[in-house]
Amino acid sequence: MKSPGKLGFRQKIHLSFAGLVILVAVNALVGIYTAYAIAGQIGLQEGVAGIVNDILRLRDSTERFVKGRSRQDENQTFTDIERIRQHLVQSPENGERLASLLPRLDDYRLHFQKYVVEIEQRSALESRVLQQGRNIMAALADARIQRVA
């Protein structure tokens, strides 16, 4: 090969064009890599957004249960907890970053279960107290009837 100073005009044009083609190819490869990286980040963000939506849904169902104490809201809360757990476990790319949520989710489930049990115990106690009040009123009515007779 001749030195660049001794190359003819046509050869210099061919080398310049070859250099330009190489630069365009490198630029295209960098663009493709960047597009894949951006697509991967978008996928991660969509996964996180889904988990955030599930957590907001969990908060709403818990608030509805606290206010209304319905069995349906209780079951919905447990369903929401399980849905979040499944999202965390099934998405390995997010699972590593969000692994700290699993123990917190387990704590949430445990405390919610305790809360439900305490609500049920309180309801049972209220029912017994009301029944005892009715029993006292019935005994008082019986005592009045016996006193009159």
Query: What DSSP letter does each residue of 3-23 carry, written as one string?
Result: -GGG--HHHHHHHHHHHHHHH
Amino acid present at 123: S
105-143 CB burial, b ≥16 within 10 A, e <16:
beebbeebeeebeeeeeeeeeeeeeeeeeeeeeeeeeee
Residue 35's pLDDT is 94
Helix, strand, coil percentages, rounded to 5, for the chain: 90, 0, 10
- State how far Cα 92 lies from the chain centre: 14
pTM of the model: 0.63
Residue 149's pLDDT is 61
Task: Note the pLDDT tens digit of each residue in 129-140.
Answer: 989 988 888 888
Which residues contact residue 13 at a Cβ distance below 8 angstroms, ignoring those fewer than 6 apart? Answer: none
Residue 141's pLDDT is 82
Residue 95's pLDDT is 60
Question: How many angstroms separate the CA atoms of 105 and 103, rounded?
Answer: 5
Residue 116's pLDDT is 92
Low-confidence ranges of the chain (pLDDT < 50): none
Residue 99's pLDDT is 76
